[in-house]
């Protein structure tokens, strides 16, 4: 998708991928989200930290 010139704001998105015969869905993945078109840029380096914060906040 071409750059529309929007500001990319930190937020969360949902990531899904095929794994063998199944589907893996990960919610609350840190991402940068364009405020004009909604395009997301996932930040894999932060996935573990985001997941750990989510678990501490919502599970414990």
Would you write out the chain's pLDDT as a tens digit for each of its 60 residues?
A: 556 778 888 888 888 888 888 888 989 888 888 888 888 887 666 666 666 676 677 765
Write down the pLDDT at residue 6: 82
Please name which of 7, 26, 6 lies closest in space to residue 16, comparing C-alpha atoms. 26
Note the pLDDT of residue 43: 65
**Domain residue limits, the chain:** 8-58
Q: pTM for the full model?
A: 0.55
Cα separation, 45 vs 31, in Å, equals 10
Distance in angstroms (rounded) separating the CA atoms of residues 10 and 19: 27
Question: pLDDT value at position 48?
Answer: 65
SS3 content of the chain, % helix, strand, coil (to 5): 25, 45, 30
């Amino acid at each position: 998708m071409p750059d529309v010139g929007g500001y990319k704001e930190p937020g969360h998105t949902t990531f899904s991928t095929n794994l063998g015969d199944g589907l893996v869905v990960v919610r609350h993945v840190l991402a940068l989200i364009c405020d004009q078109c909604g395009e997301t840029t996932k930040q894999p380096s932060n996935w573990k930290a985001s997941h750990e914060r989510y678990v501490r906040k919502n599970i414990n």
